[in-house]
Amino acid sequence: MRANLLPVAVTLAALSLAGAEVPRPAPEFAVKLANGQQLLLSQYRGKVVALEFLLTTCPACQEASRVLNQMYKQYGPRGFQPIGVAFNDMAMMLVPDYIKNLGLTFPVGVGTRESVLDFLQHSPIMRMLVPQLVFVDRRGVIRAQYSADDPFFQDKEKNMRAQIEALLAEPAGRAPASKGAPSAQPKASSHAAPSSARSAGRVQ
């Protein structure tokens, strides 16, 4: 799936293309699983959570899910919890095969487009590339948010590992960095969109 890259420079410590504020308290978010059960983000308070907002047909989303699964196997015992949220058409029917084909061991469910846009603070009139990856610390604060065309995905395994380790190292009671501070996001000097963004999905 070919993505149209947005002509906007992105820095890891700045606001996202959609104008999202980081850090910010994570609002409640519900994920409906294929078996009818519902997961709430608040259930995982005390853990470091990575939310991947995805399209089941998006190659870049599949790649990100595979890496998250590797991170879950390594860091799950230390308190890391990934959650996948599909929001494409017929996602409820497609999620079981998505999990099976990728061999995922973390929960992947479905969210509505409206709830996803609200959570990401993404304007509905702006194009959005997926995956969108959000890291929430043990206190329930969103500490990082990355779009598919962010330099973060140029070396996603290395950068995910750095992000996860940095947040796991923080005690649960530590306050997040103030607005405009570096916080726990890995540094990157490049502002160019990664070549892997060509496989990203675009939300209409």
Pairing of strands 141-146, 48-54: unpaired
Higher pLDDT, 181 or 165: 165
Task: Dihedral sign for Cα 154, 188, 128, 31, please.
Answer: positive
pLDDT digits (tens, 9 = 90+) for 94-125: 999 999 999 999 999 999 999 999 999 999 99
Please name the residues in contact with 183: beta carbons below 8 A apart, sequence gap of 6 or more: 13, 22, 23, 143, 144, 176, 177
Query: What's residue 198's pLDDT?
Result: 54
Of 53, 204, 57, 24, residue with least CA distance to 115: 53
CATH 3.40.30.10 fits domain 24-170+194-203: yes
Q: Is 32 exposed, middle or buried (0-12, 13-18, 19+ CB in 10 A)?
A: middle
- Between 1-5, 8-12, 74-78, 159-163, the lowest mean confidence (pLDDT) is in 8-12
pLDDT digits (tens, 9 = 90+) for 6-30: 333 333 333 344 479 999 999 999 9
Domain boundaries, the chain: 24-170+194-203
pLDDT digits (tens, 9 = 90+) for 37-78: 999 999 999 999 999 999 999 999 999 999 999 999 999 999
Task: Dihedral sign for Cα 16, 22, 24, 28, please.
Answer: positive
